[in-house]
């Protein structure tokens, strides 16, 4: 399946621009977007993002901004100027910061006369369990806290959240069909789990309501990354579609 709005984002978790671009030369921008996180961005900066956009990839800039509202608004505006497809902020930055992020993206896109990138919130880091939240004086469960932060993000006009594919069905029913769900922790049935504790297959993640799947090592560590990507698309096409996306 090819698309100009691919559902799979390949995580470019490299501290090496050459390696990241070499991998992308073996992928297909009609079949996947790419995720640039802190490791690659701190190593290679905006030029690697521009290089990926120039190769035709939808770029998810995964920098998880969390700062005072003005700083986050300016960072979101700068990300929009890089012509990324999607970027994210921490929902725990609060209402004023989330609203400022929305304004930063929208004003920058209006100035550039381009479509605004999807603005996504990170709710509760999956590395935080109930005990870690308790130490932060958050006494509701991680799932309840994630839902609270997702609702706040939606009220502030954000386009969606990053969440575990395990929890996607709950968020989908609570937040409606338009709110985007971006899910990492994806493993094809025959793949190693690596360090992921709870994994979901690509087809199950889509069935649970995910819009975009973030997949790293099952593709980046494969002998033939494009073949791995095509096989994942095949597993999606073989499962019941949730509707056109
Ligand atoms: O290689 P793998 O498929 O595990 O990569 C998953 C990507 O998604 C990594 O970039 C990882 O940092 C990111 N991620 C995650 N779990 C979260 C949030 C982000 O695995 N809860």
> pLDDT band for position 244 (50/70/90)?
very low
Is the pLDDT at 173 greater than 70? The verdict is yes
Mean residue pLDDT across the chain: 95
Question: What residues contact residue 42 under an 8 Å CB cut-off, 6+ apart?
Answer: none
Mutational pocket test of ligand 1: of 40, 166, 214, 218, the residue with most ligand atoms within 8 Å of the beta carbon: 214
Q: pLDDT digits over 147-163, tens only?
A: 999 999 999 999 999 99
Mutational pocket test of ligand 1: of 32, 40, 124, 185, the residue with most ligand atoms within 8 Å of the beta carbon: 185
Q: What is the pLDDT of residue 241?
A: 53
Q: What is the pLDDT of residue 2?
A: 43
Q: Which residues are catalytic?
A: 64
Return the higher-pLDDT residue of 240 and 171: 171
- In sequence order, the β-bridge partners of residue 119 are 87
Q: Give nearest CA residue, ligand 1 atom 18.
A: 184
In three state form, how does the secondary structure of 99-129 look?
A: HHHHHHHHHHHHHHCCCCCEEEEECCCCCCC
Q: pLDDT digits over 25-49, tens only?
A: 999 999 999 999 999 999 999 999 9
Q: How many angstroms separate the CA atoms of 184 and 181, rounded?
A: 10
Tell me which H or E stretch contains 180: strand 180-183
Residues with CB under 6 A from ligand 1: 11, 13, 37, 126, 162, 184-185, 194, 196, 214-217
């Amino acid at each position: 399946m090819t698309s100009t709005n691919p559902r799979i984002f390949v995580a470019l978790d490299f501290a090496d621009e050459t390696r990241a671009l070499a991998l992308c030369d073996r992928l297909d921008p009609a079949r996947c977007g790419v995720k640039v996180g802190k490791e690659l961005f701190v190593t290679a900066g905006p030029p690697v993002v521009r290089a990926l956009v120039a190769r035709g990839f939808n770029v998810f800039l995964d920098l998880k901004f969390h700062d005072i509202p003005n700083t986050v608004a300016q960072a979101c505006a700068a990300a929009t100027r890089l012509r990324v497809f999607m970027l994210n902020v921490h929902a725990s930055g609060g209402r004023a910061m989330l609203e400022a992020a929305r304004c930063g993206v929208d004003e920058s896109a209006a100035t550039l006369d381009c479509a605004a990138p999807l603005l996504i919130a990170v709710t509760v880091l999956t590395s935080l369990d109930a005990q870690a939240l308790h130490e932060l004086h958050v006494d509701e469960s991680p799932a309840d806290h994630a839902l609270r932060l997702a609702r706040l993000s939606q009220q502030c006009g954000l386009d969606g959240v990053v969440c575990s594919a395990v929890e996607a069905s709950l968020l989908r029913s609570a937040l409606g069909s338009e709110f985007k769900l971006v899910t990492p922790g994806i493993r094809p049935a025959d793949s190693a789990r690596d360090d992921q504790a709870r994994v979901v297959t690509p087809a199950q993640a889509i069935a649970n309501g995910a819009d975009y799947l973030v997949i790293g090592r099952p593709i980046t560590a494969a002998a033939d990354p494009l073949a791995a990507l095509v096989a994942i698309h095949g597993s999606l096409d073989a499962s019941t579609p949730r509707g056109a996306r």
